[in-house]
């Protein structure tokens, strides 16, 4: 039984819960739209109102549509696997498979994260050929393909490129034929140039504290993102999913088949869909983000329910969708236990060479590791948990288990002091993999760094020490959104004790070695 009263109350409250210029949201149950809203403005300057027909970028939600085209068009991925060296001509070692690309198990580093290290600025133009230049510089994976999970936009850009090359057709045409037409998505379009938005919609950076400013995006993307669709389009898609639910060969049933890793362990991501648990139910869905926009859609097969939220600001579309889902089902999350003492600290994850830190609050803790981090809660078995992450400890060890990544890591303690003197770290470093440099400047007690590469010379960013021979390089704005966040830097010393190189990485792009110049 759907709690329609509570659902309507939450829909009415969304503009105040997630404050910003505007947004749209809707819920589908048993193949029918049971609630929908549009509020605010698609352009604050022109006073243009947001409507259910306003097309907005759905960003990475596009990935599942690319995978649907792939499965509809190819019974055998062998021709695409054979073409992969065309885009990765300098890759060394075993290439990932097309399926591993679609499951984010390729081990390739994310190209949007790598734009930072290649010297890109947030607002500059990233043309179609710039992607090829990035792919040509990829020589290695940051884990063996098929063994783990790491979100990588490049995976789906490559798949999109290969589909076009093998079929001789545009991805736009294939999307219209394969998904948009059958799903009655009447106005959906592939707009690869992010400077051109459908219906003149504006995305906004900022918040109520600093104000809202139009986001200046200049990236060219497709396969990994690029689709713009209205709420009406997206709710039609959700209705189509329900209408084809009993057909095992329907495209959504095929892309939502539970994935596994190479060793047979269940995985949490496949064919452009994340497999999650919300309100005690299994759901499939995906988020989308571009500077100035946030989106989230999800489908719960057992409840025959879907939720869609798209915002033209950087509020939490996921949070809004979860609130609607919980309200419709009358679900109330259990009250969290108080956080016990003794968990706070910092470590290095040796598998990823990334800083891992825990900061506790009264009823939860923030685990700093991946791009957005994780909020973990105390569990009755003495661990800290989310649906996909478990932290456990003994007197001597801290273990982080991330089942969605097929990772169990014995974390290495990292004392906060002593730290390395700035003068020892300052200098220029070169990455043979990226053909790029990383320059560290010591400025009267402050450390800064900038990157130079195929995309130019980046801005100065802050660097701060977190322990001996370990630093964090901070990226808060980039071409893609959210930005990569914190990069971990660790130093390598020679026999004479001087720093001769560094290893730099973030969750999206790990273990990149630089040698000192």
Structure confidence by residue, pLDDT tens digits, 89-103: 999 999 999 999 999
pLDDT of 3 higher than 90: no
The whole-angstrom distance between residue 497's C-alpha and the CA centroid of its chain comes to: 39
Q: Tell how many helices (H) and how many strands (E) occur in the chain.
A: 12, 30
Structure confidence at residue 371 (pLDDT): 84
The overall average pLDDT reported for the chain is: 96
φ and ψ of 45, to 5 deg: -70, -40
What are the tokens at 66? Answer: 């690319």
Stretch (H or E) spanning 262: none
Q: How far apart are CA 187 and CA 232, in angstroms?
A: 9
Alpha helices in 330-461 (DSSP H): 422-425
Q: b or e along 114-125 (b: 16 or more beta carbons within 10 Å of the residue's beta carbon)?
A: bbbbbbbbbebe
Cα separation, 299 vs 256, whole angstroms: 10
pLDDT tens digit sequence for 190-237: 999 999 999 999 999 999 999 999 999 999 999 999 999 999 999 999
In this predicted structure, the answer to whether residue 84 has a pLDDT above a threshold of 90 is yes
Q: Helix, strand or coil for residue 360?
A: strand
pLDDT at position 278 is 95
Residue 370 pLDDT level (bands cut at 50, 70, 90): confident
For the stretch 253-264, pLDDT in tens is: 999 999 999 999
Over residues 323-332, the mean pLDDT reads 95
The single residue listed with the structure tokens 């020490």 is 465
- Band of pLDDT at residue 274, cut at 50, 70 and 90: very high
Report in angstroms the alpha-carbon separations of 343 from 64, 306, 330, 410, 509.
38, 37, 34, 15, 27
Tell me which residue has tokens 């830097």: 489
Q: How confident is the model at residue 455 (pLDDT cuts 50, 70, 90)?
A: very high
- Give the span between the Cα atoms of 72 and 169, in whole angstroms: 14
What is the per-residue pLDDT for 350? 97
Residues assigned a catalytic role: 60, 63
Q: What's residue 443's pLDDT?
A: 86
Question: Which stretches of 230-272 are assigned E, i.e. beta strand?
Answer: 269-270
Judged against a pLDDT cut of 90, whether residue 500 lies above it is answered with: yes
Provide Rg for the chain, Cα atoms: 23
**pLDDT at residue 396 tops 90:** no
In the structure, what pLDDT confidence band is assigned to residue 444 with cuts at 50, 70 and 90?
A: confident
Q: What is the reported pLDDT for 190?
A: 98
The token pair at 305 is 């329910």
Q: How confident is the model at residue 470 (pLDDT cuts 50, 70, 90)?
A: very high
């Amino acid at each position: 039984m759907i709690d329609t009263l509570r659902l309507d109350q939450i829909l009415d409250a969304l503009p105040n819960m997630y404050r910003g210029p505007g947004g749209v949201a809707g819920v589908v149950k048993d193949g029918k739209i049971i609630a929908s809203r549009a509020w605010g403005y698609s352009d604050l300057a022109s006073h243009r109102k947001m409507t259910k027909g306003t097309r907005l970028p759905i960003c990475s939600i596009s990935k599942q549509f690319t995978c649907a085209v792939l499965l509809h068009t190819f019974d055998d991925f062998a021709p695409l696997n054979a073409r992969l060296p065309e885009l990765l001509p300098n890759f060394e070692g075993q290439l990932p498979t097309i399926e591993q690309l679609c499951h984010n198990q390729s081990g390739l580093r994310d190209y949007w994260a790598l734009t930072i290290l290649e010297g890109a600025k947030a607002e500059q133009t990233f043309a179609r050929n710039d992607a090829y230049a990035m792919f040509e510089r990829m020589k290695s994976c940051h884990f063996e393909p098929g063994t783990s999970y790491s979100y990588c936009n490049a995976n789906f850009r490559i798949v999109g490129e290969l589909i076009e090359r093998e079929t001789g057709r545009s991805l736009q045409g294939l999307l219209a034929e394969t998904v948009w037409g059958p799903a009655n998505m009447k106005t959906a379009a592939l707009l690869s140039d992010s400077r051109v938005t459908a219906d003149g919609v504006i995305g906004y950076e900022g918040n109520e504290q600093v104000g809202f400013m139009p986001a200046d995006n200049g990236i060219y993307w497709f396969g990994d993102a690029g689709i713009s669709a209205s709420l009406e389009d997206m709710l039609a898609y959700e209705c189509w999913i329900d209408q084809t639910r009993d057909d095992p060969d329907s495209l959504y049933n095929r892309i939502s088949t539970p994935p596994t890793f190479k060793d047979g362990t269940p995985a949490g991501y496949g064919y452009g869909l994340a497999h999650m648990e919300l309100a005690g139910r299994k759901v499939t869905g995906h988020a989308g983000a571009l500077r100035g926009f946030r989106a989230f859609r999800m489908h719960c097969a057992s409840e025959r329910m879907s939720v869609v939220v798209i915002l033209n600001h950087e509020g939490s579309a996921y949070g809004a969708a979860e609130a609607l889902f919980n309200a419709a089902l009358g679900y109330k999350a259990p009250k969290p236990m108080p956080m016990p003492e003794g968990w706070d600290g910092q470590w290095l994850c040796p598998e990823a060479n990334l800083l891992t830190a825990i900061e506790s609050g009264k009823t939860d803790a923030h685990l700093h590791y991946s791009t957005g981090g994780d909020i973990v809660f105390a569990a009755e078995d003495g661990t800290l948990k989310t649906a996909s992450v478990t932290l456990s400890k003994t007197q001597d060890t801290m273990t982080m288990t991330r089942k969605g990544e097929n990772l169990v890591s014995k974390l290495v303690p990292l004392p906060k002091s002593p730290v390395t003197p700035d003068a020892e770290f300052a200098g220029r470093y070169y990455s043979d993999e990226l053909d790029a440099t990383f320059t560290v400047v010591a400025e009267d007690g402050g450390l800064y760094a900038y990157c130079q590469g195929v995309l130019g010379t980046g801005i100065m960013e802050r660097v701060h020490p977190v322990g001996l021979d370990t630093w964090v390089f901070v990226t808060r704005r980039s071409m893609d959104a959210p930005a990569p966040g914190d990069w971990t830097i660790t130093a390598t010393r020679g026999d004479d004790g001087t720093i001769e190189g560094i290893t730099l990485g973030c969750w999206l792009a790990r273990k990149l070695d630089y040698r000192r110049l």
